[in-house]
């Protein structure tokens, strides 16, 4: 069975196949559009792709994005933890002080990006933390920072 996929994101194009049809696909695209051939993929949308043709393996990671995110939120030197979430979260009580929603949302959004490519296992923790996106407390921020500490331990 011949399988070919053409992945398009704005002006980035990625062609994947299992029968060496890439040349033919490129030729068809070049007939209608201006295109530059950048060779084998090594970086695509913040994801590093390392191919080992000898062993027929592909490693995908977002190491540089993870490091940048950890540094951005001053979590790069945090002590890693073994689990993404350890506590049960509750709604913020009226007398509890709210945390900075902008920071909370930015931190959460940066983790949402990594679940799409390389960290789907933290999706459940993101889902729980997203419930408090509009009304988060110190407890929620602590849980989010715990997830960042887990993220720090998984960066490699």
Token duo for residue 71: 């540094």
Q: What is d(CA 61, CA 156) in angstroms, rounded to the nearest whole number?
A: 8
Token duo for residue 121: 């296992």
| pLDDT tens per residue, range 74-105 | 999 999 999 888 778 888 888 888 889 999 99
Kindly report each contact of residues 142-145 with a partner whose C-beta sits within 8 Å and lies 24 or more positions away, as own/partner: 142/87, 143/85, 143/87, 143/89, 144/104, 144/107, 144/108, 145/75, 145/78
Token duo for residue 78: 């945090």
Q: Map residue 122 onto helix, strand or coil.
A: helix
| pLDDT tens per residue, range 34-45 | 888 888 888 887
Q: Output the pTM of the full model.
A: 0.72
């Amino acid at each position: 069975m011949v399988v070919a996929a053409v992945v398009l994101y704005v002006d980035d194009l990625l062609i994947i196949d299992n029968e060496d049809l890439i040349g033919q696909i490129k030729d068809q695209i070049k007939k209608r559009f201006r295109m530059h051939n950048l060779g084998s993929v090594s970086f695509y949308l913040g994801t590093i792709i390392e191919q080992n043709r000898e062993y027929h393996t592909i490693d995908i990671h977002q190491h540089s994005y993870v490091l940048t995110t950890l540094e951005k939120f001053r979590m790069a030197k945090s002590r890693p933890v073994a689990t993404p979430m350890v506590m049960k979260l509750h709604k913020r009580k009226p007398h509890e002080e709210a945390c900075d929603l902008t920071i909370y949302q930015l931190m959460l959004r940066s983790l949402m990006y990594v679940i799409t490519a390389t960290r789907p296992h933290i999706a459940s923790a993101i889902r729980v933390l997203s419930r408090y996106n509009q009304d988060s407390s110190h407890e929620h921020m602590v849980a989010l920072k715990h997830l960042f500490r887990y993220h720090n331990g998984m960066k490699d």
